[in-house]
């Protein structure tokens, strides 16, 4: 069994502050250690359940967060940010995916560090008119290649969103949100036990899960916080503007729609103004 791990940051055990999550933060090095330990707990659970291969995609911010020398040596890791499929680069051919350290979508709960793909630049991302977060987007890309998401870890808001969208995936709830920047957290030992247990159970019942697939036509759209970002992002061929702050891309093929809106995303953020937004 080949298992793919998406490793994000906002849902990592004990983490509640941008001072931890961002490379410029005063506690970022501590965050890197916590992220590496959560990922290792998932790797161990997967191998204990019979996985023959585990590949981790470092998928948070710069995508070079996990402490390379401390990663479980049985796993391989994808590092670096220049990836066409971003958080699920090279997911083709795997039997199941574990989403470690993910978070709720922006603005629909008090989930810890709730956001979608970027920070203050985006108000919301939608798929066929419905708000979506990184769980749905990345699960849909994985599903395009026939890979089911079988387990997630993060806070209780993330767990609720994942089960609503993906069904009865295994959920490792390592903290309960109080606010976007506060949570009641399990001890580190209990959090790692939870991640290990749920990763183990997910791999053991791999046959129970189905890929999350989106049939075309599919429209993906971004509502920016600024009109400048929208105008910049609309330079992508095939995109179209729905309002001064909303850009969209539509295709009969989900992967093509993703590539279009991802290009819009990467172009649009360049127009963000640190003072005016």
CATH number at residue 190: 3.40.50.10780
Name the DSSP class of 128. T
* Helix-strand-coil split of the chain, %, nearest 5: 35, 25, 40
Number of folded domains that form the chain? 2
Encode pLDDT of 161-205 as tens digits. 999 999 999 999 999 999 999 999 999 999 999 999 999 999 999
- 20 annotated ligand-binding residue: no
Encode pLDDT of 59-101 as tens digits. 999 999 999 999 999 999 999 999 999 999 999 999 999 999 9
- 256 annotated ligand-binding residue: no
Could you tell me the residue range of the domain that residue 238 belongs to? Answer: 218-271
Q: Return left, alpha or beta for 238; rule: phi > 0 is left, psi -120 to 50 is alpha, else beta.
A: left
Contact (Cβ atoms closer than 8 angstroms) between residue 87 and residue 135: no
Q: Report the pLDDT averaged over residues 124-151.
A: 98
- 253 annotated ligand-binding residue: no
- 155 annotated ligand-binding residue: no
Domain boundary among 182, 208, 234: 208
Q: Which ranges in the chain belong to alpha helices (H)? A: 18-21, 28-48, 134-144, 156-166, 188-204, 227-233, 254-268
Q: Report the pLDDT averaged over residues 202-225.
A: 97
Question: 157 and 54, same structural domain?
Answer: yes
Examine residue 213 and state whether it is found in any structural domain, yes or no.
no
234 CB neighbour count, 10 Å cutoff: 18
Examine residue 173 and state whether it is found in any structural domain, yes or no.
yes
Encode pLDDT of 240-277 as tens digits. 999 999 999 999 999 999 999 999 999 999 999 999 98
Examine residue 276 and state whether it is found in any structural domain, yes or no.
no
| 3-state SS, one letter per residue, for 209-269 | CCCCCCCCCEEEEEEECCHHHHHHHCCCCCCEEEECCEEEEEECCHHHHHHHHHHHHHHHH
Contact (Cβ atoms closer than 8 angstroms) between residue 157 and residue 118: no
Examine residue 78 and state whether it is found in any structural domain, yes or no.
yes
Question: 30 and 141, same structural domain?
Answer: yes
Tell me the Cα Rg of the chain: 18
Question: 232 and 152, same structural domain?
Answer: no
Q: For the CA atoms of 240, 255, 84, 95, what is the dihedral angle to 10 degrees?
A: 160
- 192 annotated ligand-binding residue: no
């Amino acid at each position: 069994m080949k298992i793919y791990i998406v490793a994000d940051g906002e849902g990592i055990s004990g983490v509640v502050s941008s001072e931890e999550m961002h490379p410029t933060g005063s506690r970022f090095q501590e965050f890197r250690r916590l992220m590496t330990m959560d990922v290792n707990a998932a790797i161990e659970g997967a191998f204990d359940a019979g996985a023959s291969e585990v590949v981790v995609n470092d998928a948070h911010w710069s995508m070079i967060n996990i402490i390379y020398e401390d990663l479980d040596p049985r796993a391989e890791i994808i590092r670096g940010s220049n990836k066409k499929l971003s958080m699920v680069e090279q997911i083709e051919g795997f039997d199941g995916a574990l989403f470690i350290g993910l978070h709720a979508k922006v603005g629909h709960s008090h989930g810890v560090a709730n956001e979608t793909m970027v920070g203050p630049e985006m108000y919301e991302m939608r798929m066929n008119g419905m708000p979506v977060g990184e769980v749905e987007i990345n699960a849909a890309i994985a599903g395009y290649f026939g890979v089911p998401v079988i387990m997630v870890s993060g806070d209780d808001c993330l767990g609720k969103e994942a089960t609503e969208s993906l069904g009865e995936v295994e959920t490792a709830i390592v903290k309960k949100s109080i606010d976007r920047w506060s949570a009641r957290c399990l001890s580190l030992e209990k959090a790692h036990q939870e991640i290990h247990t749920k990763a183990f159970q997910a791999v053991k019942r791999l046959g129970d899960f189905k890929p999350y697939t989106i049939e075309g036509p599919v429209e993906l759209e971004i509502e920016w916080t600024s009109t400048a970002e929208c105008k910049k992002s609309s330079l992508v061929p095939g995109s179209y503007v729905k309002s001064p702050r909303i850009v969209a891309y539509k295709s009969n093929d989900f992967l093509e729609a993703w590539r279009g809106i991802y290009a819009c995303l990467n172009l649009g953020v360049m127009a963000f103004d640190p003072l005016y937004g």
